[in-house]
Chain A
Amino acid sequence: MNLAVEVAGIRFKNPLIAASGTFGYGVEYEGVLDLSVLGGIVSKGLYMEARDGAPTPRIVETPSGLLNAIGLQGVGVRAFVRDVLPRLAKHEVALLVNVCGDSVEEYAEVSRVCDGAPGIAGLEVNISCPNVKKGGMAFGGDPRLTHEVVAAVRKATRLPVIPKLSPNVGDITVFARAAEEAGADALSCINTLLGLAIDVEARRPRLGFGTGGLSGPAIRPVAVRMAWQAARAVRIPVIGIGGIASASDALEFLIAGCRAVQIGTANFVDPGIYERVLLDLRAWLERHGEDDVNSVVGTLEYPGLPRPCDSGGCA
């Protein structure tokens, strides 16, 4: 049974990747989890310098979901390369760095630092964080800026470039194509949905930042729909993200056309989720007579629509 997938030239030993911001820098789980069980890890978002992040409270539970405004608190990319990378090198797991910036130049600069560092398999470009005042979602909410950032990162690195798209747009296919044209090797779909939770006693937002990003099972149908739309719109592979907490959830994204998936909020519920999902994924594949997880990708039978592979869309 083959569970390995290849996305943007990166080999993942299975299609389950820990999503940015939900797994720290990976090393937090040393000794608690066998990190080599994971297909990959995406680091917490990194700017050039360390960041304080958003005011508290930063997280609030919502129905089947989590609304957060962490605001990309982080150590900065140089400290990450110096202190964290050597520790991660001992673990056999593909590492993607989530690249942030206040400006196009900063995205490129962070990417250049990563380019020269050993042990980084690829860059996920964060143009979709809803919880920062500058950058973030601004770049992911305008297709011209999306193109500009991705092109700048493309120029700054030889590493695979994987923009993470925002769901807070009208038509995600416009952004998917803009990123592809700018030289992206794959796409991560999607980041959190912009939300607001209100304390009715105080008549104030429940989060210190005000609005936040919604994640967890609550957003899964939206995420599957958008990942499916993006996968049909571009030739580069798509990594599906949004509310995955089981093998069945992961399979929804794979069947919708994603080559791999990221697990996010479910890491908080149970960081040991990977072994359970992999076990159930194998069982599903066996039950359906499949011996390769890749053969499930894009097999959605959608009434009235041709499958993307029928028109040569699968490179």
Chain B
Amino acid sequence: MPANRIAPLASREGLGGAYFLLTFRHPETAREARPGQFVMMKAGLSAEPPLRRPFSILATDPGRETFSLFVKAVGQGSSALCAMAPGDEALCLGPLGRPFTAPPAGTEALLVAGGYGVAPFRFLGEELRRTGGRGRLFYGGRTAADLPLLERLGGLGLEIVPATEDGSLGVSGRVTVPLEAHLDAAKGPVRLYACGPDAMMHAVARIAAARSLEAEVSLDPWMGCGIGTCLGCVVRVQGADDARWKYRCACTEGPVFDSARVVWPGEDDSKARRARGEGRP
């Protein structure tokens, strides 16, 4: 059950550029959060910016009653959070949303991250290590500077495959390049997980559909409340028994969705139906 309470900042660490690791005290999130879930956060009670922001949970520490976020200061909300000093108070509602589904035993989890979309995958990697699962993280960005979390992903039992569009680190090209190369060579069963820019997640969804693979995507639309009351964050998703897509709240029915059921921007109903048919073996 999510809790709405003040969360003091426990620690703040700059990772270079606009990237920060922020750790907050919030017992319920620390105890109950699952990989893929998120919190709604706002620095203090100031009038600006008006709304809280959703952030995927990077890690939890139930013993210390804390959770951590990986935040890029890109706009008013994230910048205000990143400017907090330890002891400052944030408003926090969490943990929220539907988590990732764990891969079946013996299935390799292929995590595809774009930029700060990597945040939930550290948490998922922890879970995989704990449960003895196998995983590989394709971590993409425009340049090496967009992969500041790279050094913090050790010890998760994940094979890390960095990719940069300018070739400054790892594979040269988009993150889907090493993903497809791995899929071409993979022998056993795999399951895809994607979090990042919409275009990247859509690309992963197409790859999954073309290869009849299961894939989960973590969507990130603007959110008002985080708990299903404002209906501001809806996305077009086709349920198993639906004749057509319905608007579903990314905050309560997501943010994690089966990629084959998402009607992506620019797609129409018929395309969604085709995708649905193709998405299952």
| A interface residues with partner B (beta carbon < 8 Å) | 21-24, 28-29, 31-33, 44, 52-53, 56-61, 63-66, 68, 70, 73, 216-217, 245, 265, 267-272
What residue of chain A has the Cβ atom nearest to residue B251's Cβ?
A28
By the criterion CB–CB under 8 Å, are A66 and B51 in contact? yes
| Chain B interface, DSSP helix/strand/loop, else mixed | loop
Query: In whole angstroms, what is the CA distance A68 to B223 when docked?
Result: 11
Besides the known contacts A217-B50, A269-B91, A271-B227, 13 further A-B residue pairs in the complex with CB atoms under 8 A apart: A22-B230, A52-B247, A53-B247, A56-B221, A60-B222, A64-B47, A68-B232, A268-B50, A268-B229, A268-B230, A269-B50, A270-B42, A270-B45
Q: How many Å lie between the Cα of A44 and that of B224 in the bound state?
A: 15
Bound Cα distance from A242 to B221, whole angstroms: 26
Supply 24 A–B pairs (Cβ within 8 Å), ascending by A: A22-B229, A23-B229, A24-B228, A24-B229, A28-B229, A28-B252, A31-B2, A44-B229, A56-B247, A59-B230, A60-B222, A61-B49, A61-B51, A64-B47, A64-B50, A66-B224, A70-B230, A73-B234, A245-B47, A267-B225, A268-B51, A271-B225, A271-B227, A272-B4
Q: Interface size of B by Cβ–Cβ distance < 8 Å?
A: 32
Name the interface residues of B224-268: CB closer than 8 Å to any CB of A: 224-225, 227-236, 246-247, 252
CB-based contact A64/B227 at 8 Å: no
**Complex interface: chain A residues within 8 A of B51 (CB):** 61, 66, 268-269
Q: Output the residue of B45, B221, B225, B235 with the most chain A CB within 10 A.
A: B225
Which chain A residues border B224 with CB–CB below 8 Å? Answer: 59, 66, 68, 268
In the docked arrangement, what's the CA distance between A45 and B96, Å?
25
| Docked-complex contact B4 and A33, CB < 8 angstroms | yes
**Chain B residues whose C-beta falls within 8 Å of the C-beta of A28 in the assembled complex:** 227-229, 252
Known: A57-B221, A271-B225. A32 touches B234 (CB 8 A): no
User: In the assembly, what is the distance between CA of A28 and CA of B226, in Å?
Assistant: 10
B180 within 8 A of A: no
Q: Most A CB atoms within 10 A — which of B1, B227, B233, B236?
A: B227
Closest 5 interchain pairs by CB? A24-B229, A59-B232, A268-B224, A31-B1, A268-B225
Q: Which residues of A contact B128 (CB under 8 A)?
A: none
